[in-house]
């Protein structure tokens, strides 16, 4: 490995507001703003879901983003997949124009291209990530077509290979995910996200709502994928247990800000910020 690595993904000065904003809340500073209650402006009611986020993701690593509901983690991951427009901010992908072009500024077309070729996303809710009435194979094919596959035989082959990897019986390939259990739906979603061999996978709260045995299987699947395919991943979770199992580094989000970042075991055993300490002490 080289001594100086360059990141696969960089996020700089990322802000996202819901509302119009006003003079009282648009000047951001790290110090306490008397006109704001947490991340909500008392004057105009605007919620600043993400405030000045900066981080890098490197080749082959799993980065955890942890925080309670409303901390801004879903907003962030939606924006990384271009499903939300950031208010300000820059995003650089090493695979696109040598990481020198802020992809948030790119055209709709380019974003769509990156979505289809460079990114994979697994949504917290399989109903958002899958077409429930299409067959499972069809769901994967949709992603493959978007990524320029055109040969039907190849697509079927790839779909079979993927479903096998996530342990969905190939015999059930033609069934729609609607007929599957929650854990199976989540695994179909993972296979769909992997279909185009993206170098970067975004995983949002994927184990929420799964029972423990299914959760264990999904975690193992993600770990295997990372080991075998060397995909870089961002794992969003409010569950520190999941973060501890999967990630090397972690960012802690609270009220839209990164309050702490570090090695995951350091975050768990020697948390520096009061909010992180609270999180760690709440762990079962």
Residues that bind another protein (CB under 8 A): 1, 3, 5, 58, 61, 212-213, 216-217, 219-220, 223, 227, 244-245, 248-249, 262-263, 265-266, 269-270, 272
Q: Which residues contact 199 (CB under 8 A, 6 or more apart)?
A: 8, 59, 95, 118, 231, 232
Nearer to another protein, 165 or 217 (CB): 217
CB of 258 to another protein, least distance (A): 14
Nearer to another protein, 70 or 99 (CB): 99
Place of tokens 């696109």: 96
CB of 249 to another protein, least distance (A): 6
Going by the DSSP 8-state scheme, the letter that residue 19 receives in this structure is S
Nearer to another protein, 172 or 217 (CB): 217
Q: Are 147 and 117 in contact (CB under 8 A)?
A: yes
Q: Are 25 and 41 in contact (CB under 8 A)?
A: yes
In whole angstroms, give the CA distance from residue 87 to residue 37.
Answer: 20
Nearer to another protein, 23 or 278 (CB): 278
CB of 241 to another protein, least distance (A): 10
CB of 277 to another protein, least distance (A): 8
Taking phi over 0 as left and psi of -120 to 50 as alpha, with beta for the rest, 14 belongs to: beta
């Amino acid at each position: 490995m080289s001594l100086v690595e360059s990141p696969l993904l960089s996020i700089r000065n990322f802000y996202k507001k819901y509302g119009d904003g006003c003079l009282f809340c648009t000047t951001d500073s790290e110090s306490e703003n008397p006109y704001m209650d947490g991340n909500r402006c008392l004057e105009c009611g605007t919620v600043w879901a993400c405030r000045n986020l900066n981080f890098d993701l490197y080749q082959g690593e799993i980065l955890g983003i942890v925080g309670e509901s409303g901390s801004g983690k879903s907003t962030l991951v939606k924006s990384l997949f271009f499903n939300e427009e950031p208010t300000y901010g820059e995003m650089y992908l090493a695979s696109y124009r040598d990481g020198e072009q802020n992809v948030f500024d790119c055209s709709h077309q380019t974003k769509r291209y990156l979505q289809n070729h460079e990114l994979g996303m697994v949504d917290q809710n399989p109903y958002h990530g899958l077409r429930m009435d299409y067959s499972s194979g069809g769901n994967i094919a949709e992603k493959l077509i978007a990524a320029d596959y055109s040969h039907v035989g190849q697509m079927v082959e790839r779909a079979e290979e993927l479903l096998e990897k996530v342990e969905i019986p190939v015999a059930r390939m033609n069934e729609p995910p609607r007929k599957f259990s929650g854990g199976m739906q989540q695994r179909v979603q993972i296979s769909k996200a992997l279909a185009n061999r993206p170098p970067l996978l975004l995983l949002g709260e994927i184990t929420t709502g799964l029972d423990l045995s299914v959760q264990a299987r999904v975690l193992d699947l993600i770990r295997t994928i990372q080991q075998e395919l060397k995909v870089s991943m961002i794992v969003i979770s409010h569950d520190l247990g999941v973060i501890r199992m999967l990630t090397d580094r972690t960012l802690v989000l609270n009220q839209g800000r990164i309050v702490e970042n570090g090695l995951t075991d350091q975050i768990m055993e020697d948390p520096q910020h009061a909010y992180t300490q609270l999180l760690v002490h709440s762990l079962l």
